[in-house]
A and B are shown apart, each in its own frame.
Chain A
Amino acid sequence: MADIFSSIISVGFHGLALAMVLYLISVGLSVTMGLMGFINLAHGAFAMLGGYLMTWLMSRYDVPFGLALAGAVIGVVLISVILERLLYRRFYGGDELDQVLMTMGLIFITIASVTYIWGPVTQPMRPPAALSGQIDLGFRSFPTYRTFLIVCGAILVTLLWLALERTRFGAQVRAAVDNLRMAQTIGINTSRLFAATFALGSGLAALGGGLGAEILPITTFYALENLVYFLIVVAVGGLGSIRGPFVAALLVGISDTAFKYIAPEFGAFFIYALTMVLLLWFPRGLFGRT
């Protein structure tokens, strides 16, 4: 009995860590899809870039973990702003097939670029000594880094909610998601708003990619291999919502870990089945707007 209890705790713990990473990466995707009507399949590439920049700064220049992470986020935000102005902007609300073609193209370009710059090998993720090993939380011990990840994720989620609920920027975003035309009519500069949201989403993705490098290893095909997970979180959560992807990420993270524990040979089968059922039940996602 104690064994089963211990397994449940362990699965819940690892699931929570995965959920945090999935949420950080996917929330930006959810907002861009809801706000700009843009299917950004290349969103995972920003997370991947974040991971690459962070591991590169750490292993090549011995930059401390926190600083490297911050550097990676800033780098990705800059890249995303440039891409948004040059490319993405032309396709807001446009033909979704054009969006698919362009973002698939971007995925391919990033795959090749990171292979060229950093080689085909998985990037080593070495958290600082203080964050490796196990931590004793009184009743049992947990992997320190993942505990840190969960705490970090929780703080970030809270900050994000506060930002969207309590700030002027947040109010503008919510207004634009609800009714874009009305938002424009009352004088919100939607072009600037789009750029800011896009940059924020990409920055969060980079943060998730860097923090989660332990769980989703930084490899060249990252953006393609993990795309299904990000899309599932967005679709199940509902477009343009902040809370939806969080619940969806929890659902996906914990059930995926549980299924892999119970029936490892089936891989991700059950998580797909669950997605299918949920989407039939809630075609607009759990928190989607009608």
Chain B
Amino acid sequence: MSHLTPSADRRAADIAAFSRRHRFHWFEALPWLIAVAAYFMFPNYLALGSQILAIILFALSVDLVLGYAGIVTLGHAAFFGVGAYTAGILAANGWGEPISGLLAAAVAAACIGLASGWIILRTTGLTLLMQTLVVAAMLYELANKAYRFTGGADGLQGMSVWPIFGTFRFDMFGNTAYFYCLVVLFFGWLVVRNTVNSSFGRSLTGIRENVGRMHAIGAPVAQRRLVVYALSAALAGIAGALTAQTAQFVGLNVLNLERSGTILVMLIIGGIGRLYGAFIGVPLYMIAQDRFAEADPTYWYFWIGLAMVFIVVFLRGGIFGVVERLLARSRKQ
């Protein structure tokens, strides 16, 4: 491998690449331009649009633990759900201020993330996967049981979210919701981007690639994994709160296995550990789901499933992975 004995040229290029990573590239503006354009082009689809934006944030939070820290989770709905219920219960009980609702959701989800992470992150592999799954399943049952607070299987009825800054009312067409989600997603993305490009983020990648060596060089592995897990939980909580506030409803499905599974699927479709996989995979999946469901309300699962198998067999590494391979090939030529 060339990494072992890099040529002087190669090293200079590496250093240059490393110092450039923080800078913004022109293509990073692309998703935001598309999002604003979509607002004007599809005014009847803003409710879907704001959901997509919130789920992108959720996918980013999963990418942080999965793509950068290598924690395979099948239970991230736990944090999404805690966030959604926190914001929802606040709004149903007389505190409908949205932004403080988001913050409360972030704190609650981070606490659950810290507590559960402290317990389960000592395991690895399939056992860890099962532990994440079980944590979400326990919260699901608790939410079902806490009927008085959550409405159980009936869902949380009677949420009333106040206008943002007392001015922008959440309308049924989703105008406010769309921009609200877009702005929150932007800040969430900045946080994730800075995290993965920091030395902390690099050490996470190190842990993912070679735990033994990271221990050897004295990195506080357990602590770093826990911190990133809690940070990711907070972001997932905010995503859940966004969904709750814009839909003005919370159902038990915010905590179920299907949610944990599909977010993973969306991320894999886009590409993992690339920061932009979420921006590709989530809209693709959710728009496809919306189209298929409308054309054929019962059988959209078939086409989604077929697409997933197709991607695994023919498009390894997700769409971003394929694009990168194509770019690399053209560069070689």
Contact = CB atoms under 8 A, between A and B. Distances in A.
The answer to whether any beta carbons of A and B sit under 8 Å apart in the complex is: yes
The 8 closest A-B CB pairs, nearest first, are A105-B308, A108-B305, A112-B302, A109-B305, A269-B141, A112-B301, A105-B309, A102-B312
Contact of B138 (A239, A269, A279): A269
Contacts of A272: 134, 137-138, 141
Interface stretch (B182-190, B197-205, B261-269): B261-269
Interface stretch (B8-16, B98-106, B122-130, B237-245): B122-130
Contact of B126 (A39, A105, A106, A110): A39
Interface in A56-115: 87, 90-91, 96-98, 100-102, 104-113, 115
B130 A224 contact: no
B137 A235 contact: no
16 contacts: A41-B261, A97-B264, A101-B265, A104-B264, A104-B265, A104-B305, A107-B305, A108-B301, A111-B301, A112-B299, A228-B257, A235-B126, A280-B119, A280-B131, A283-B124, A285-B127
A229 B130 CA distance: 11
Contacts of A115: 298-299, 301
Contacts of A104: 261-262, 264-265, 305, 308
A275 B305 contact: no
Contacts, number: 132
B148 to A, nearest CB: 12
A216 interface: no
Given A269-B142, A272-B137, A97 B272 contact: yes
A267 B305 contact: no
Contact of B316 (A39, A98, A105, A231): A98
A232 interface: yes
A120 to B, nearest CB: 7
Contact of A109 (B264, B265, B309): B309
A224 B313 contact: no
Interface size range of chain A in the complex: 35 or more
Interface of A: 33, 39, 41, 87, 90-91, 96-98, 100-102, 104-113, 115-116, 120, 224, 227-228, 231-232, 235, 239, 265-269, 272-273, 275-276, 279-280, 283-285
Interface core residue of B72, B302, B311 (most chain A CB under 10 Å): B302
Contacts of B133: 228, 231
Counting chain B residues whose Cβ lies within 8 A of the other chain, the interface size class is: 35 or more
Contacts of B219: none
A120 B297 CA distance: 12
A63 to B, nearest CB: 28
B305 A284 contact: no
B135 interface: yes
A101 B316 CA distance: 11
B41 interface: no
Given A113-B302, A268-B141, A283 B123 contact: yes
B43 to A, nearest CB: 31
Given A98-B316, A112-B302, A276 B131 contact: yes
A105 B306 contact: yes
Given A120-B298, A224-B258, A273 B309 contact: no
B21 interface: no
Nearest to A33: B126
Given A97-B72, A98-B312, A269 B257 contact: no
Interface in B221-271: 257-258, 261-262, 264-265, 268-269
A116 B309 contact: no
A96 B137 contact: no
